[in-house]
Structure 1
Amino acid sequence: MTTAATRPGDRRVSPVFVGILAVAAVTGWATWTGFAAKPGLAVFLFVTAAWIVSLCLHEYAHARTALHGGDISIGAKGYLTLNPLKYTHALLSIVLPVLFVIAGGIGLPGGAVFIERGRIRGRWRHSLISAAGPLTNVAFALVCAAPFWLGAAGSVPRDFRYALAFLVLLQVSAAILNFLPVPGLDGYGVIEPWLPYGIKRQLETFAQFGMLLVFALLWVPSVNAAFFDLVYDVLRALGVSDGASDCGYWLYRFWSEAPAYCAVSP
């Protein structure tokens, strides 16, 4: 019923998203086949394009769940088109997350779509809308890690295997960060409907600073080490070795010199 309230054009996939998906497909093929003269550049383009695709799917999941939860304004805002330029702010949702990937190999959560919460009825629906985004990152991580947890990684070309391992790291780190119960992040959005009204009012003022606080803490060596220990524990549970994800990061940073062990398939 809520889907019917949207116009056909509101649900038409954006050419911008199709173009990004095409870049991911072409550069992924070039990485798999070794066709690219500079494999590092192909990996950079493949991982960046795939990461943007995952950001779009993350935001789309929020929007689609909100639509079925009762917010019929979602369609008119362009959130169902998967156009990355429609999600909140291009700088906060797309540019900054990509820059954090380049700078530190961290999956930065993007800004959430604007949802008219007054249209949503029921606490469970509010929680599900917030959880839908990071759950998409979890699903994306499982798909990318499939060759590893299925025991088929050995049949995947080395560079493509490294690229997939790095993509899994990004998705896992993004999911963990998103699920933190910090105001301004999706994890807080999951529990917020269940909190007493007084506590919610007190925490509202911190929502705009929540993400900044988390990333400030990640600069603390002990916190950073604990965070990446958790990320690598999850990767190992998925069959992705530390070496594969690390080599994927160095291959992605094609302008840097990779460690010698990355030239040998683990």
Structure 2
Amino acid sequence: MSTTTHRHDERRISPVFLAILAVMAVTGWAVWTDFAALPGLAVFLFVTAAWIVSLCLHEYAHARTALHSGDITIGARGYLTLNPLAYTHAVLSIILPVLFVILGGIGLPGGAVFVDRGRVHGRWKHSLISVAGPLANVLFAVVCTAPFWLDALDGVPTAFQYALAFLAFLQVTAALLNLLPVPGLDGYGVIEPWLSYGVKRQVEPYAPYGFFVVIALLFVPAVNGAFFDVIDGLMRALGVPELSRACGSEMFRFWQGSAPQICGVG
């Protein structure tokens, strides 16, 4: 097999990702056309599939940036195929974030892909690799909220507006959480190359626990309130009404049966 063919195989989009993308497209059409017998179920499937797609794009952004920064081995690990099953920490990258969306309605950052940092030279390149993932979430949020801040909602079905609003909320929470300068998160990865060797050595033992510390802190009422105040401010800046996001969350949890009463949808 030639080198060119091998590299093409490393970058071929995974059938797994394409299947998830197809679910997102079909269920998005069902929400738009009100085709589904249970609109809430359609919203649930659409948002969940779109959320997994965004997680794949998050990890792909890390991997693609690492490739162009010098880690030519990144493709051999399957990261350039957008296959969620290829990630080093599939549980942290996909399963746990999806469970938190279903149970808690919050977008959690996933686990990072493995990058051979020894092949990457230059502090700016290391920082760029780390920030690439959250920037993918930011871009996804901008796309989801475009109808709102462009005032282009005419003709967009109400249920689809709600689904987009809730999906954007997940992207904003994931981006903000991931950009926190906490060991183990991408925000720390951005500043780590600029820290002294001594500081990095002191912080290194705590890196595996940073993610879980952040989750624990979100259960503290004062921290939780301050965090979601920031999120609400960002959502307003993107033109998304709080009611739209709340109704999207209610429709997503269709098993609770509260969306029709609150949001006027069937």
1:241 aligned partner, one-letter code:
P
1:67 aligned partner, one-letter code:
L
Q: Distance in 1 between matches of 2:38 and 2:189?
A: 43
2:24 and 2:46 in contact (8 A); partners too: yes
SS in 1 for 2:126: helix
Deviation at 1:155? Answer: 2.7
Q: Distance in 2 between matches of 1:17 and 1:10?
A: 14
Task: Specify the alignment match of 2:181 in structure 1.
Answer: 181
1:183 aligned partner, one-letter code:
P
**Where does the alignment leave 5 or more consecutive residues of structure 1 unmatched?**
none
Output aligned runs, 1:170-209, within 5 Å: 170-209=170-209
SS in 1 for 2:46: helix
- Say if 2:41 is the partner of 1:45: no
Q: Distance in 2 between matches of 1:37 and 1:44?
A: 13
Task: Specify the alignment match of 2:224 in structure 1.
Answer: 224
1:28 aligned partner, one-letter code:
G
- Say if 2:261 is the partner of 1:263: no
Change (3 A) 1:4 1:196: farther
Output aligned runs, 1:75-86, within 5 Å: 75-86=75-86
Structure 1 stretch displaced more, 153-162 or 239-248: 153-162
Change (3 A) 1:66 1:40: same
Task: Specify the alignment match of 2:119 in structure 1.
Answer: 119
1:87 and 1:93 in contact (8 A); partners too: yes
Deviation at 1:4? Answer: 6.7
Deviation at 1:100? Answer: 0.4
Task: Specify the alignment match of 2:128 in structure 1.
Answer: 128
- Say if 2:170 is the partner of 1:165: no
Residue by residue over 1:122-176, the C-alpha shift from the partner in whole angstroms, topping out at 9 and shown as x without a partner, is: 0000000000000000000000000000001243101110000000000000000
Task: Specify the alignment match of 2:153 in structure 1.
Answer: 153
1:145 and 1:240 in contact (8 A); partners too: yes
1:6 and 1:76 in contact (8 A); partners too: no
Q: Distance in 2 between matches of 1:228 and 1:154?
A: 29
1:71 and 1:116 in contact (8 A); partners too: yes
Task: Specify the alignment match of 2:71 in structure 1.
Answer: 71
- The total of aligned residue pairs comes to 262
Q: CA RMSD in A?
A: 1.4
- Say if 2:23 is the partner of 1:35: no
SS in 2 for 1:49: helix
Q: Distance in 1 between matches of 2:130 and 2:54?
A: 16
1:190 aligned partner, one-letter code:
V
Task: Specify the alignment match of 1:8 in structure 2.
Answer: 8
2:164 aligned partner, one-letter code:
L
Q: Distance in 2 between matches of 1:152 and 1:118?
A: 47
Identity of aligned residues (%): 70
2:198 aligned partner, one-letter code:
G
Task: Specify the alignment match of 2:237 in structure 1.
Answer: 237
Structure 1 stretch displaced more, 251-260 or 236-245: 251-260
Deviation at 1:76? Answer: 0.4
1:6 and 1:72 in contact (8 A); partners too: no
Deviation at 1:258? Answer: 1.8
SS in 2 for 1:140: helix
Deviation at 1:6? Answer: 6.2
Q: Distance in 1 between matches of 2:87 and 2:153?
A: 35
Q: Distance in 2 between matches of 1:8 and 1:37?
A: 42
Task: Specify the alignment match of 2:89 in structure 1.
Answer: 89
1:261 aligned partner, one-letter code:
I
Structure 1 stretch displaced more, 82-91 or 212-221: 82-91
Q: Distance in 2 between matches of 1:214 and 1:40?
A: 30
Q: Distance in 2 between matches of 1:155 and 1:193?
A: 48
Deviation at 1:89? Answer: 2.3
Task: Specify the alignment match of 1:23 in structure 2.
Answer: 23
Residue by residue over 1:166-197, the C-alpha shift from the partner in whole angstroms, topping out at 9 and shown as x without a partner, is: 00000000000000000000000000000111
